């Protein structure tokens, strides 16, 4: 799912920058001016009035400070007070996506609708192919009876004028597991028991009504107000997300306050070695299938929504896990911060004793902007620990499986296949593979189409990021041969 640039996403970035600036300048003393600055009186409101715009912005600022708008108990609590509470936190709040009630537009239920492009043609394929006889003709134009319609889409498929359109509910449409639904008032709510933290609903909501608790302030506080060593663990998908070279980004992060920067591709190399060994062992013991993935959203989906596939899920840990393990072995007292494209990594970190905080690329970019740091103006500096092996290709669809295949070689018969993105159709496909078998014996499952370079925390467009990652992988391969 490609999410183009839009006002909702850009506003999220602007809020993160404003929150980071407010912390760096005066510890949130002016935080309550942020909604006013982002929605000045002379600007045309995007909702019913400028005051509702500002109310929504306040809630989005709350999320950027690490609080859930759904848990607000007093509307009179100011952003400055929330900022002060954020500075008192000693550990991050639980990862959780939530809906800002006042920002939700209560979209109409997903349905098919006849537009004025209908010509009332003699053929009438829409009427003849409707299995529920839901289509009649009124005043020479097709009419769909909503009480009879089952949203099968056959009328949409056969109309020669494309005059029948489907009106979706974007967030519900994007969710692959049906975790977001309407209440009795038409407002959306997220079922946290079903949610896999993929962030697709957040990306798709045109009103910016879905937010996630940020850990940005927690990390800023540790970098600036404590003596603890703070280590940034950069996910391989970071390549191409920021201007300049990756070595300049390393320098920029240290300038921003990190004490060391580690390449998570190092952990991905360990994942590759262990998964290759696990695959060989499973095939030799007579097992028919193994799924490989570094995606916590997939792990959660397998656990809750596709229990049939659970026996085939690899037991090998993720690159984040192994990288954090290395970091803590070197310095058990340090603060390990994973920086990546994924919201679900926050949920994974809650079960990993070695990962203290998780930032997205978008949040890291906000910190750099607020700090006045231009990546492409920084002096190059190498990672504290580097990878030249297969781990750098992990953020691309096919990269994880490709890395495992390269190590398995001729030690076992390996037939890889990739599930490029978790969707409702691919959820069904996984169930079928688990119950009825599959021609392939190694399945790579990516939650985001195209791989991690399409994650909800990314900054760059996926195609551009993919080209940058491919070039970085090739560079690493060249260096490893020297």
SS in 3 state form for the chain? CCCCCCHHHHHHHHHHHHHHHHHHHHCCCCHHHHHHHHCCCCCCCCCCCHHHHHHHHHHHHHHHCCCCHHHCCCCCCCHHHHHHHHHHCCCCCCCCEEECCCCCCCCCCCEEEECCCCCCCCCCHHHHHCCCCCEEEECCEEEECCCCCCCCCHHHHHCCCCCEEEECCHHHHHCCCCCEEECCCCCEEECCCCCCCCCHHHHHCCCCCEEECCCHHHHHHHHHHCCCCEEEEECHHHCCCCCCCHHHHHHHHHHHCCCEEEECHHHHHHHHHHHHHHHHHHHHCCCCCEEECCCHHHHHHHHHCCHHHHHHECCCCCHHHHHHHHHHHHCCCCEEEEEECCCHHHHHHCCCCCCCEEEEHHHHHHHHHHCCCCHHHCCCCCCCCCCCCHHHHCCCCCHHHHHHHHHHCCCCCCCEEEEECCCHHHHHHHHHHHHHCCCCCEEEEECCCCCHHHCCCCCCCHHHHHHHHHHHHHHHHHHHCC
CA distance 68 to 95: 10
User: Taking 70 as the threshold, does the pLDDT of residue 304 lie above it?
Assistant: yes
Q: What is the pLDDT of residue 383?
A: 86
Residue 387: closest CA among 397, 395, 379: 395
Asked if 223 contacts 230 with a C-beta cutoff of 8 angstroms, the reply is yes
Give CATH for domain 218-480. Answer: 3.40.950.10
Q: Could you tell me where in the chain the CATH 3.40.950.10 domains are found?
A: 218-480
Provide the mean pLDDT of the chain.
93
Dump pLDDT digits (tens) for 9-40.
Answer: 899 999 999 999 999 999 999 999 999 999 99
Interval 144-171 mean pLDDT: 94
Interval 353-381 mean pLDDT: 97
Confidence of residue 480 (pLDDT cuts 50, 70, 90): very low
pTM: 0.92
Task: Indicate the CATH number of 7-104+171-213 among 3.30.70.20, 3.40.50.300, 3.30.70.360, 3.60.40.10.
Answer: 3.30.70.20
HSE of 53, CA atoms in CB hemisphere, 13 A: 18
Percent of the chain with pLDDT over 70: 97
Confidence of residue 479 (pLDDT cuts 50, 70, 90): very low
Dump pLDDT digits (tens) for 411-422.
Answer: 999 999 999 999
Q: Could you tell me where in the chain the CATH 3.30.70.20 domains are found?
A: 7-104+171-213, 111-167
Phi, psi of 155 (to 5 degrees): -65, -40
Q: What is the pLDDT of residue 310?
A: 95
Dump pLDDT digits (tens) for 207-238.
Answer: 999 999 999 999 999 999 888 999 999 999 99
Dump pLDDT digits (tens) for 98-125.
Answer: 999 999 999 888 899 999 999 999 999 9
Cβ-based neighbour number of residue 475 at 10 Å: 14
Dump pLDDT digits (tens) for 451-461.
Answer: 999 999 999 99
Class of domain 111-167 (CATH, top level): alpha beta
């Amino acid at each position: 799912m490609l999410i183009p640039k839009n006002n909702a996403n850009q506003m999220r970035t602007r809020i993160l920058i404003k929150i980071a600036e407010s912390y760096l300048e005066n510890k949130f003393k002016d935080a309550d001016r942020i909604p006013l600055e982002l929605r000045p009186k002379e600007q045309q409101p995007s909702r019913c009035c400028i005051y509702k715009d500002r109310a929504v912005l306040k809630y989005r600022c709350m999320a950027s400070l690490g609080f859930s708008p759904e848990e607000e108990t007093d509307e009179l609590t100011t952003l400055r007070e929330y900022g002060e509470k954020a500075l008192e936190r000693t550990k991050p709040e639980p990862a959780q996506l939530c809906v800002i009630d006042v920002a939700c537009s209560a979209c109409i239920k997903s349905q098919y609708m006849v537009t004025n492009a209908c010509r009332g043609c003699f053929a009438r394929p829409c009427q003849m192919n409707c299995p529920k006889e839901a289509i009649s003709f009124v005043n020479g134009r097709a009419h769909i009876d909503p009480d009879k319609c089952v949203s099968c889409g056959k009328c949409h498929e056969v109309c020669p004028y494309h005059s029948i359109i489907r009106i979706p509910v974007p967030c519900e449409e994007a969710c692959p597991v049906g975790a977001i639904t309407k209440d009795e008032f038409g407002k959306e709510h997220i079922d946290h028991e079903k949610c896999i933290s993929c962030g697709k609903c957040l990306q798709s909501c045109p009103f910016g009504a879905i937010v996630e608790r940020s850990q940005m302030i927690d990390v800023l506080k540790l970098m600036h107000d404590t003596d603890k060593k703070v280590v940034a663990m950069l996910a391989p998908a970071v390549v191409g997300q920021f201007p300049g070279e990756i070595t300049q980004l390393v320098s920029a992060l240290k300038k921003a306050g990190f004490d060391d920067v580690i390449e998570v591709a190092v952990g991905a190399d360990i994942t590759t070695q262990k998964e290759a060994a696990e695959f060989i062992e499973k095939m030799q013991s007579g097992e028919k299938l193994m799924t490989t993935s570094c995606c916590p959203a997939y792990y959660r989906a397998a656990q809750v929504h596709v229990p049939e596939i659970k026996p085939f899920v690899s037991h090998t840990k993720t690159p984040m896990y192994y990288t954090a393990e290395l970091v803590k072995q070197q310095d058990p007292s340090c603060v390990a911060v994973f920086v990546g494209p994924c919201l679900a990594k926050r949920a994974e970190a809650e079960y990993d004793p070695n990962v203290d905080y998780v930032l997205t690329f978008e949040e890291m970019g906000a910190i750099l902007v607020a700090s006045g740091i231009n990546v492409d103006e920084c002096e190059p500096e190498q990672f504290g620990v580097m990878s030249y092996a297969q781990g750098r290709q992990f953020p691309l669809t096919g990269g994880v499986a490709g890395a495992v295949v390269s190590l398995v070689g001729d030690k076992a018969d390996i037939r890889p296949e990739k599930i490029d993105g978790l969707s409702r159709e691919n959820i069904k496909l996984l169930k079928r593979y688990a119950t009825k078998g599959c021609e392939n014996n190694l399945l790579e499952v990516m939650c985001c189409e195209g791989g991690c370079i399409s994650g909800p925390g990314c900054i760059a467009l996926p195609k551009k990021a993919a080209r940058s990652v491919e070039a970085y992988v090739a560079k690493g391969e060249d260096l490893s041969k020297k």
